[in-house]
Every structure is written in structure tokens, then in C-alpha cells.
Copies of this chain bind each other. A is one copy, B any other.
Amino acid sequence: MAHFADRLTAAVQARATPLCVGLDPRWDSLPLALRQRFDASPAGRASAYEAFCLRVLDIVAPHAGVIKPQSAFFEACGPDGLKALLAVMRRARQLGLVTILDAKRGDIASTAEAYAEMAFDVYDADAITLNPYLGKDAIEPFLKRARQNERGLFVLVRTSNPGGGQFQNLAAAGKPLYVHVADAVESWSNESRGGCGLGDVGAVVGATHPTELRELRKIMPSAIFLVPGYGAQGASAADTAGAFLPGGRGAVVNSARGITFPFKPDDANWEAAIDAATQQAAHELGQAANPHP
């Protein structure tokens, strides 16, 4: 396998869009036609999530090169949910998609190693999202494991939620906490860069703060940005523009609900709706990334 940043960059360039499809399956949003084949028990929901997500992968794969399953929704179905996640990750690999397991883990020493094993060995993820609160001890075991296998990490820097600033915006030594985290991410990212010039440690930076996005792009020139907040969370494609390096490089923009649930549950044409939403978002974000192609 090639360096993580090169693989992700190639996946983005092949489809000329930074769109990353978020897989956040919810029972109540699933197509009725599909829900009727299963029951709402944890095992039933897990089977429904698997069937739905596999179908989504087939529909989106021609238009988006990166996917991001949200671990929580699979975990909420218990052990059967994790079997479904395994099936989803395998199909994504078969389709040549780059996978980011959104798990926001953060723990230290041998516990971090166990989480890295979970992400990279069990689920064969290309990257995992991490929480920086525990400091470098919580990142380095993942880094070591990622570098042995050409994988990547995305560290939470500035999140897209309304209350994200409660601690992230606290100013210490003249700059907010999230800038301290950004400095650390840039330093880790710089340690291992691919041929594309980008590193294997990226940053999660919400599109709901376009000014901070531009500021953070300057602070982390080596880091790939994973940008949530576009679409259902309120940010427009234009709001993501600050995330990109010249040539539309260096960022992927996540859309979950907007891509996977653009229909009412009783809509028989849900697959066509997903296809149309994917193409629309891929085009719109492709333009935002490359305003003057």
C-alpha cells in the first residue's frame, strides 16, 4: 500500500471531488421497504444497517472516493452491529474506497494500542478519528501502528457543534486551545509526508466556522482536513473553501444525512434519491475545492 495521504489524494482526484460519504445509519430513517424485512431488535437493526450501507456504497462509489462510517450507530446494535460494520468496511475495501472509521477514540499506552488494533487490524480502516484531550500519549501509539501499515489519523481540532467552543476556544498563552492542538497536529503530520506533500495525521475542522477553517489551514499546511458540518449541519459548499490547498488538495468534506437520507422512508425511489444527492454534492464540493479549474 502507498502512503495514506497519497492514497486519499488519489481517491479524491480520481472522482474530482473531496466528498466523503458519512455512514450514520438510523433505524427511523431507513427506507420502509428495507425496514419491513427486519425487526427493530439490535440484531434486526444491525442486519438492516448492513443491507442499507452496502447498497449505499454501491451507489456512491462511482462519485465519491472516501467514506466515513460512524462507529456509534453500529455499536448501539451490540456485537451484531460490529459484524455489520465489518461487512461494510470489507465492501468499501473491495470497491477501492478510502475508509475513515469515525470513532473519536482517546486513550493511552496499551489501551490506545488495543484501539489501533481494533481500527486497523479488525476493521481494516485506512484511518481513524481521535480525541486529543489526553495529550500526545494518546496519539503516539496510534501513530506507530498507523505508520507500520500506511494508515492515517484524524485528530479533533475544532468541532462543528454549537457547544464545541466551550473548551476548544479557551485562550491559553495568547491562542485558543484548538490552535495548540493544531500546532501539535502539524508537527505530527510533518513527521511522515507522502509524495503529495501531505502528512498522515489530519485534522477534524468544522465547516461551520469558515474563518477558523482558513486560519487553521495556514497553521497546518501539512495536514489533510476532514471537514464535517456541510449540508444537514448547516454549512454550504462555499463555507468549506478555506479548507483546501491550491488545486483542491488537502481536504475531504463529509456529508452523511444529506447523502444517505435525502428521501422519506416511504419513498420507493430512495436509491435514485441517494444517487442524485451524491452527484449533486460531489459536483458542488468539486467546484468549492477548485473554484477556477
Q: Which residues does A use to contact B, with CB under 8 Å?
A: 24, 26, 42, 70, 72-73, 75-80, 82-83, 86, 104-112, 114-115, 117-118, 121-123, 131-138, 156, 159, 161-168, 170-173, 177, 180-181, 184
Contact = CB atoms under 8 A, between A and B. Distances in A.
B172 A73 contact: no
Contacts of A168: 133, 135
11 contacts: A70-B114, A72-B112, A75-B115, A76-B117, A79-B80, A133-B168, A134-B161, A137-B162, A167-B181, A170-B177, A171-B172
Contacts of A131: 104, 106, 131, 133
Central interface residue in A72, A83, A122, A168, by most chain B CB within 10 Å? A72
Nearest to A156: B133
A78 B165 CA distance: 34
Given A24-B111, A82-B78, A177-B170, A72 B133 contact: no
Contacts of A162: 137
A121 B81 CA distance: 14
Contacts of A104: 105-107, 131
B135 A163 contact: yes
B172 A118 contact: no
Contacts of A73: 111, 114
A227 to B, nearest CB: 15
A115 B77 CA distance: 10
Given A114-B75, A134-B161, A42 B122 contact: yes
A13 B237 CA distance: 57
Contacts of A108: 159, 161, 163
Given A159-B108, A170-B177, A76 B122 contact: yes
A275 B148 CA distance: 40
Contacts of A112: 72
Nearest to A85: B79
